[in-house]
Structures are given as structure tokens and as C-alpha cells.
Structure 1
Amino acid sequence: MDHLRAVPAGVSPSGEASVGLGLSDLLKRSSRGDGAAFAQFYDETSTRAFGLAVRVVRDRAQAEEVTQEAFLEVWRSASRYDAAKGSAIGWLLTIVHRKAVDRVRSAEAASRRDTSYHQDNHAVAHDATAEAAEATMEARRVRSALGELTRVQREALELAYFGGYTHTEVASMLDLPVGTAKTRIRDGLIRMRDAMGVKGS
């Protein structure tokens, strides 16, 4: 991962090392232009960020690009991080996941354009519109249901289901006992199911 390490343009790496500071504090310092704090934040989180990107895009070269793009956004928008809404690592991984999904969708769209000449344009347009409408409605339901969760439940669910991490990995990332992580994920799923009006089996 050393070849990934790069402080964004305009970031001054000068400054004292922020030894002993948590990730949230490093983000706060980064928001004030502290390049040393940002470099330390990168060092402590880049392996997890890259791992998530690889899981989603399935290509190491593209995962490296996604990771760099995510950290560049972190540097530019560190001031928007709100510790009351979730952990620093959760915030970072949400950005990584979003960018990785965008990369996958972009690649899929390019692939579809390459083959669309041989397809029935009218039928495809109709099906795509219906599918897009259905996907949009479902996404709204999911976002609404996520809003019903507590912060800790939402954080655990996002890592487990959007990030693709195992219960053990989620527990490690959130510094929790495995049993506690499992409970948060289970309770969050139950609450989401109820919010979406889905009957349990």
C-alpha cells in the first residue's frame, strides 16, 4: 500500500506528528489544513479503505484510483464530518463505497453502450425505465428505513451490508465485542424490516 500514499496537492506535510490522537481528532485537524494530521489519518485507515474498494470494484488498479479519490474528498470535505453522526472510519468507508459503486456503474454503463447497437432500442428503453423507477422507489424506502435506526445500528449495518465486512471485521473496526456487533446488526435489520413494512418469516 506504500505506493498509494500521497498527500493531495496543496497539502503541506509539515507539522508535528499527531501521536495519540483518535481518527476524529485527526479529521478535525485536517479540516484546518494540518497536512501531518491528514497523513497520519491516511496511514491508519488506507488499508481498510483499499480493502473495501477492492471488494467492490474487483480490480486492484481501479481500487487504488478509487481509494485516492476518496481520500482527496476526505481532505477537501473534512470540515463536514460530524462525530455525532458516526465514527470517522465509518464516514471514510461510506465515501469509499460510494465512489467504488460509482466506478462499477460507470464501467457497466460503458459496457451496455458497447452492446446496445445489437439490441431492440425501444424494448430496452422501456425495460430500463421501469427498472430505474422500481430501483428508485426501493432506494427511497431503504434510505427512509435507515433513518429510523440508531446511529450505532446504522453504522454497523452500513459496514456489514454496504461495505461487505463480516461480523468479526465489523466488531474489530468499531472496537466492539463480536457479540455486541452481531446484536447491533440484528437489531438494525429488525428495525429496518419493520420500517419497510416487511413481515418476518
Structure 2
Amino acid sequence: MIYLQDGKRLLGVALRIVRERQLAEDVLHDAFVNIWRKAHTFDVNSGEGRGWVYSVVRYQALNVVRNRERETQVDEEALESMDAAQLDHLSDAFELKHDLGRLHDCLSALDLPRRNSLLYAYVDGCSHREIAERLNSPVGTVKAWIRRGLTALRECMG
């Protein structure tokens, strides 16, 4: 019943936040699942049910946006430079371990800010902003460290 009455407006709330129709529809679906599961937590003394439903949709959409900001975009050049032949030879566990050892050596050769930027981005999944906060550096500098670090790794792993 809630969906029939307010579904279009709730979709509009999600769409204004996530800015993609398909993603907004997913947000609305997940929000209604959460509403169904957590209906027992709603306190009638704290306000109207409609306001609670709207807040659940809003928070679901904001969480999606936050999670997407944390995703690190992979450099397209790096993806293109990795061809199938390079990946096929990693099928042997010994060769994989050898290449991981090379990666460790190449990472060790990087200066500390570049190495930490890469590790925070690709291991911890931090956004550029989060890395900048951790390293107490400007976001533009962090982006440059990551870009230059990837270039150096590509050359080293060559």
C-alpha cells in the first residue's frame, strides 16, 4: 500500500540523490526490504510513519552514493596493457608467487607516499579524499602519487 501511494515520490527522492534511474530503482527496492524487516523498530511516538519511510529511502540512497565514492577507478591504460597472454602465464601457483614477489619488490622501491597511496586505494579501497585525509596531503597530490606509482609499477613489472 505504501508503495502504491508514495512509490513515485520515493523514487524521486532516491533519483535526486543517486542520479541514475536504474540505481534509484535498486535503492527503492532495498529500502522497502529494509522497511519490511525493520518495521518493528518504528516508534509511533517519534513521528509519522510516512516520514520514517522517506528517511529510510533517503539514507539508503546516501549509503549507495557513499559506497560508490569509495570505489577506486582503475586506470584504463593499466587494463589495456594487461593482455590475456600476461594473465595466462599466471595459472601456475609457482609463477603467481614469483610475480607477487616481484610486485612486493616493485612496491618496496616506491617512495613511502606513493606506496601508501596505492595500498590505501587498492587494498583498503579508500577514496582519493580518504587517502588525502590519512596522509594529510591535498587530494590532487594523492591523485598524482597514485598515477605516478602505477606508472612506476607498470615499468618495474614490465
TM-score under structure 1 length normalisation: 0.39
RCO (CA 8 Å, sep 6+): is it higher in 1 or 2? 2
User: Which structure has the greater CA radius of gyration?
Assistant: 2
> When you count helix as a share of all residues, which structure comes out higher?
2
TM-score under structure 2 length normalisation: 0.49
